[in-house]
Amino acid sequence: MKKPVKSWLLASTVATLLAAPAISTANSGVEKLTQNPANWATWGGNYAGTRYSELNQINTKNVKTLQPAWSFSTGVLRGHEGGPLVVNDVLYIHTPFPNTVYAIDQATQSVIWEYTPTQDADVTIPVMCCDTVNRGLAYGDGKIFLQQSDTVLTALDAKTGKRIWSVQNGDPKLGMTNTNAPLVVKDKVLTGISGGEFGVRGFLAAYNIRTGALDWKGYSMGPDEDMLINPNKTTTWEDGKVVKVGKNSSLKTWQGDQWKIGGGTTWGWYSYDPELNLVYYGSGNPSTWNPTQRPGDNKWSMTLWARDVDTGEAKWVYQMTPHDEWDFDGINEVALVDQKIGGKMRKTMVHFDRNGFGYTLDRVTGELLVAEKFDKTVNWATHVDMKSGRPQVVDRFSTEFNGEDENTTDVCPAALGSKNQQPVSYSPQTGYFYISANHLCMNYEPFEVSYTAGQPYVGATLTMRPAQGDVLTGKDDGSNNLGQFTAWDATTGKIVWSNKEQFSVWSGSVATAGGIVFYGTLEGYLKAVDAKTGKELYRFKTPSGIIGNVNTWEYKGKQYVGVLSGIGGWAGIGIAAGLDDGSDSTNSEGLGAVGAYRSLSSYTKLGGTLTVFALPGK
């Protein structure tokens, strides 16, 4: 049934603006909350996005006795990405569309309040690529922030669930939607936009947490003033050094006005360094997927960004995949870690891209330090040239030839990437990053497509299959796995160990001081492995496939582990959306993934459940 968006959203936002008290630039309590491991107050557990917990009650010796403590059904049967927030003993969870939010009392496991926004399903769902997922909530200033699918950003009173303000972040009729988890920093809530497959031009926006007023918006491409780029200050990595980007650095790389529908959307995750006052994130693929229709490097799609939180001004940019030909969407999370590289301590940022390369950069300057494959079957490029920062493309796997479309086979990785949105974790005990990963290749057939606002603007069909090679060596070992869980040393760009998984690992992991890393599988298993060796120590089958992020917290002196299960997302779209014909690779939801995962339906079915685990005993 059609549910129109409330016309009073704008009016209520204006009324709140007029009644609002003086704005504080304080941190809204978020940073302090994240310093207490009893909480899980942001998507990444902390501003650095490392997804590491200092809790150690559950450890390598006793995790084998872990058991379900309680569970909660969300009432929604689509893909459940993201994970629970825990703030001052209250647990907050979310659902995919219609984006219901629950506040749960941990003492009784009962609902304190619930909120379901009014959205127009007929307008919004048809323009949601790759399932109707939502990646989570944000907390700050006594509010829960929900980024609705229809682009409305809503602030709720954390104690009562009452709506305080709402603001429209985009227009679904133009193909704009939202799936990202917001991030609260100081007096701002940061959010992006989805819709790269509909010709949407990406941006990162900052709204005032008290009023919902727009503080700034920085686009991914276009004129310098739109991107909040200062050509005389903003820098990039080029010719072996950090250089100023210069005037019109983006416009020069697009033909005519193509940048206006250029993609570069921002539906991933955002990290923040309080000392540098910089927010870090990635921008996605250029539109359309057909590279011959957009000559040039298409800056600044496929780019890592560092922006000043107060002003939005770009400090530096680094483009990972210039003139993307494979939909290697660059939105994956950025983890901020201080590491010793080349004998020198560095403030680094680490990013595992869809293109199959793991990047380590100096997060102060944007200097490129490490760029290596984290899956050795990656074949579209031989390596990243450290001086230019550009990947060295193998002609055989290019999807265009002399400006013409080229049907290309056996490209590795597939468009799902060697890793998609599922966030990594980092353990300071081992110094390793833990990557929930895919292991796929594809055939890619571009075709000419015209732009119509609100209609798919893809321009390619593709099919996917397992990468029939070992992640450590790249050599064919006869395996047929679609995923793996990998430990990585970001100082050297080396794989430490890797566990094969039958299907892609679409769950974000969490590392703990107990020497354990938790993650979930598409079949529905919660797994615990030894952080040093990768040895599996525990598994439990939850009610549905896991594409949510595993989080951990403490309540009344006891450590808990929680995860949302509910099959879906791009890898599980065949089950979630009932797309049982893998041959329809042009479907705006399936986009080529259905066939490779058809057997998944033998292992799991639809669901929507939060399962919470603990050690036995009081």
Give the active site residues.
327
Q: Kindly state the tokens that stand for 444.
A: 């890619």
Contacts of 184 (CB under 8 A, 6+ apart): 28, 30, 42, 138, 139, 140, 141, 145, 190, 209
Give the Cβ contact number of residue 17 at 10 Å: 14
Which H helix or E strand runs over 573? helix 573-576
Q: Strand ranges (DSSP E) for 74-186? A: 85-87, 90-94, 101-105, 110-115, 138-140, 143-147, 152-157, 163-168, 183-185
Q: How far apart are CA 193 and CA 148, in angstroms?
A: 11
* Largest Cα span, the chain: 69
Give the Cβ contact number of residue 216 at 10 Å: 19
Q: How far apart are CA 422 and CA 332, in angstroms?
A: 8
Q: Where are the alpha helices (DSSP H) in 403-497?
A: none
Whether residue 222 contacts residue 243, with contact meaning beta carbons closer than 8 Å, is answered with no
Q: How far apart are CA 104 and CA 288, in angstroms?
A: 42
Three state DSSP letters for 499-529: EEECCCCCCCCEEECCCEEEEECCCCEEEEE
Q: How far apart are CA 343 and CA 239, in angstroms?
A: 23
The letter for the amino acid at 500 is K
Length of the chain: 618
